[in-house]
Amino acid sequence: MRIAIATLGCKLNFAESSSIAQQFVRNGFTEVSPYSKGVDVCVVNTCTVTEHSDKKCRNIIRRIHKLNPGALIAVTGCYATLKKAEIEALDGVSLVLEQDKKGSIYPLCMEMLEGSPCSDAIAEHIFPACSYGERTRSFLKVQDGCNYFCTYCAIPYARGRSRSVPVETLVSQAQEIAGKGVKEIVLTGVNIGDYDGGLLKVLKALDGVSGIERYRISSIEPNLLTEEMIDWIASGTKFQPHFHIPLQSGCDKTLERMHRRYDTDLFASRIDYIRSRMGDVFFGIDVIAGFPGETDSEFSSTLSFIRKISPAFLHIFPYSRRKGTLADKMEGQVPESVKTQRVKALEQLSDELHQQYCSRYVGSVQKVLFEGRVKGSLMGGYTGNYIRVERPYDASSIGKIVEVVI
Ligand code: SF4
């Protein structure tokens, strides 16, 4: 039988989808594209980060049903958790499973296909997951859920409270990943820094797994990125000089309305401390444009603050209203046209900062992990500090860390 998985949203969803696919494949299924014909089961792992994500999920489900009217379509993920009835109303959907039942998709689908109850169709408290999709880089889920309840975010309602995958499970998953020849692991989660008992113990345990040459942390809240953790990472570990940190706004008043747990002083001090210990690190920074009440002057403060801390890249999100969140009920909703202008200004700034960062490395020798073929005759990969490098394709370099002159 054929299984297809369609995934939207974050790296955590991709890691979980990969583990769901493996459960089916281990039991004799062949994995195919969700947009091919002849699919028997299709799992759609949804996202609800913006209204656009919800719409995209509905369109994908319709497209899959049209191509494969007889397929069992099981829908899970954040959108499925928050708007179950909306998805159940779509033609062709056989099963809608909330986030906490993701780990039970395989037995529940088999139960429906075979028409007999399956004893282990029980929701798991936390569903360990890792992706094997790429030969060179794997995403390993270390944590799920969030206790922070930022005023714009629906994720704590969809994924529940913070839970952690035990360290021993993570080490054995990392060993399994290394056994497949993968060289780099990206740690994912909803709020990784909130790992039960401290993330540092996970980093230390994973650093000892042989075969894995590089680690990255996908995203970490600035208040949870401790000096102890930074010092340890800087002491010559496999963790790369690359941090993804959500800023969201460079204006303290906006940060307060967002219920973020830091101010710009704390954020800047973390960046300074990391640079003092690790040099010219690649910082990818999340920013929200047009949060309710964000005035022109507050947005200007954000632009100035970003220039001051000078990250290498911005991940930009126009604010999207999410039902049930505090920000959805706030006064001063920013018109879409203003959000669009602010997104453009941030995009320009990001291009400029990225160019500045990368140009500092022109002529230097860097180690690149080449991941695969791109654009026909080229191959692509990343340096330790996350600069994208492309050069003529050479099959013997794929999956290896190679020194190149930038
Ligand atoms: S930290 Fe805030 S933005 Fe991130 S998942 Fe938790 S509530 Fe959402």
Domain ranges of the chain: 2-114, 130-218, 240-359, 365-405
- Choosing from 47, 49, 78, 148 the residue with most ligand 1 atoms within 8 A of its CB, the one to mutate for a pocket test is 148
Confidence at residue 319, expressed as pLDDT on a 0 to 100 scale:
97
Nearest residue CA, atom 1 of ligand 1?
148
Asked if the domains 2-114 and 130-218 are classified in one and the same CATH topology, the answer is: no
Interval between CA 148 and ligand 1 midpoint (Å) = 6
Distance from C-alpha of 243 to C-alpha of 326, rounded to nearest angstrom: 29
Pocket test for ligand 1, best of 12, 153, 255, 256 (most atoms within 8 A of CB): 153
Asked: is 240-359 a CATH 3.30.750.200 domain? The reply is yes
Atom of ligand 1 nearest to the CA of 159: 5
Instruction: Give, for ligand 1, the residue of 144, 155, 286 to mutate: max count of ligand atoms closer than 8 Å to Cβ.
Output: 155
Distance 319 CA to ligand 1 centre (A): 14
- Give the position, in ligand 1's atom list, of the atom nearest the Cα of 248: 3
Per-residue pLDDT of the chain (406 residues; tens, 9 = 90+): 899 999 999 888 988 998 899 889 988 899 999 999 889 899 999 998 888 888 899 999 999 999 988 789 999 999 999 888 899 889 889 889 988 888 888 988 887 777 654 333 333 456 777 776 556 889 999 999 999 999 999 888 888 889 999 999 999 999 999 998 999 999 999 999 999 999 999 999 999 999 999 999 999 999 999 999 999 999 999 999 999 999 999 999 999 999 999 999 999 999 999 999 999 999 999 999 999 999 999 999 999 999 999 999 999 999 999 888 999 999 999 999 999 999 999 999 999 999 999 999 999 999 999 998 888 899 999 999 999 999 999 999 999 999 999 9
* 220: Cβ contacts below 8 Å, ≥ 6 apart: 192, 193, 199, 243, 244, 245
Ligand 1: which atom is nearest the Cα of residue 190?
Answer: 5
Query: Which residue, judged by its Cα, is nearest atom 2 of ligand 1?
Result: 150
Q: Tokens 């929701």 label which residue?
A: 123
- At 87, phi and psi to the nearest 5? -80, -40
Nearest atom in ligand 1 to 221's CA: 1
Please state the atom number of ligand 1 nearest to the C-alpha of residue 149.
7
CB 286 within 8 A of CB 219: yes
Ligand 1 interacting residues, C-beta cut-off 6 A: 146, 148-150, 153, 155-156, 190-191, 221
Q: 149: CA distance to ligand 1 center in Å?
A: 6
Report the CATH number of the 2-114 domain: 3.40.50.2300
User: What's the pLDDT score for residue 117?
Assistant: 45
Model pLDDT, residue 119: 39
| Residue-level pLDDT at 248 | 98
Q: How far is the CA of 107 from the centre of ligand 1 (A)?
A: 31
What is the structure's pLDDT at 343?
98
- Ligand 1 center from residue 115 Cα (angstroms): 39
CA 180 to chain CA mean position, Å: 22
Give the ligand 1 atom nearest the CA of 153. Answer: 8
Nearest CA to ligand 1 atom 8: 153
pTM: 0.82
Ligand 1 midpoint to CA 309 (Å):
22
Pocket test for ligand 1, best of 49, 146, 219 (most atoms within 8 A of CB): 146
Which amino acid makes up residue 308? K
The pLDDT value recorded for residue 125 is: 58
Does 3.30.70.940 match the CATH number of domain 130-218? no
Residue among 152, 191, 218 to mutate when testing ligand 1 (max atoms within 8 A of CB): 191
